[in-house]
Structure 1
């Protein structure tokens, strides 16, 4: 059974967070005010409770993606920054000396756990709604990095669709009668 929230490992250095990160810092405010348990609830079915090694907690992975949407960074740059930026580590519920994830884990999380694009939209929507209710977001405009998202419209041009259908039709015909090649 996966815990509702990732817990920070005990560390003699956690007091650094109180020194370095101001009480009014956006990440501190989000951590204190937002209950991210909805992420665990939405993704419970995507994790096997008794097979393989323990996965990185879905809330932590979602928080990485949230950081990525808040800052225009690549996966590699985001993980690199989370190595030394204490505000990132605090937001991710990590001890200051704790090792960060491998950048490929973010890609796997997006592809394996968030297979349904609507699920990622739903999670981000819920987070933004909660943040707006708590006055954590002061603007009415939100910019999201859509590098890894697909448009719901016009994925292919009509000519490309016809070419794909033609290719599939020819393959089917050839599988039935090879002399048609």
Structure 2
């Protein structure tokens, strides 16, 4: 069930935000100047309004996604950073001591509530438009050009996405252990299935490595795992000539 009432959180520690998050921080500006109520209006038909237990507000979950794409993080990465990054917590309108969501909830929201590949683009583009109108952003390149959004105009194939993510993960592993054995990357003409198999083997190597919990390696492996798990066509090359 989706409630139209947002929870008001009060805390003795909220003054910490004034001490830690600078007045000119981009997340502070976006939170204070951009009205995200349009998120509720766009997504309320995806929820039951009068039955079942209360769901997390889609505004909160969308804000997690916006952070995810602004900072190019995985679902696990953005939730983990939200635990300790006070600018993230301030943007999410959480109290300093408040617990964050479980990453699986964000993944479920992305896959079930945003099934239509146009919805995420619509919401992000609307947010960018509002931020530009308020003078927070100079252009929309901060979001669209540097992240893996589910846009129809994305020119990167799934294979290329896997190659980029796996290369980043291998580089992180090599930085920690130059002698670590890593599976051989498939040849250039390898099929997508062969590349999927290689990436799964690489992830298994990471799990067995003593460095698997290092922040950089953990985030890179989460990103690769997320791409493998997303069985959607957002990473396929567009057939639209434009």
TM range (shorter): 0.7 to 0.9
SS at match of 1:120: helix
Q: Please, what is the CA RMSD of the aligned residues?
A: 2.0
Q: Paired residue for 1:3?
A: 4
Q: Which moved more, 1:8-17 or 1:33-42?
A: 8-17
What aligned pairs does 1:5-24 form with structure 2 within 5 A after superposition?
6-24=6-24
SS at match of 2:141: coil
Q: Which has the higher contact order (CA 8 A, sep 6+)?
A: 1
2:94 and 2:103 map into 1 onto residues whose CA distance is 16
Q: Which runs of 5+ in 1 are unaligned?
A: 155-181
Q: Which moved more, 1:56-65 or 1:18-27?
A: 18-27
1:73 and 1:21 map into 2 onto residues whose CA distance is 20
1:93 aligns with 2:93: yes
Q: Paired residue for 2:211?
A: none
Structure 2 contact 128–140 (Cα < 8 Å) conserved:
no
1:28 and 1:81 map into 2 onto residues whose CA distance is 16
Change (3 A) 1:33 1:102: same
Change (3 A) 1:124 1:80: same
1:78 aligns with 2:81: no
Q: Paired residue for 2:60?
A: 60
2:16 and 2:37 map into 1 onto residues whose CA distance is 26
Please give the per-residue CA displacement for 1:97-128, whole angstroms capped at 9, x wherever unaligned: 11100001111001111111111111011011
How far is the alpha carbon of 1:50 from its aligned partner? 2.5
Structure 2 contact 17–90 (Cα < 8 Å) conserved:
yes
Q: Paired residue for 1:51?
A: 51
Change (3 A) 1:28 1:140: closer
Q: Tell me the number of residue pairs that the alignment of Structure 1 and Structure 2 aligns.
A: 154
Q: Paired residue for 1:124?
A: 124
Structure 2 contact 3–55 (Cα < 8 Å) conserved:
no
Q: Which runs of 5+ in 2 are unaligned?
A: 150-226
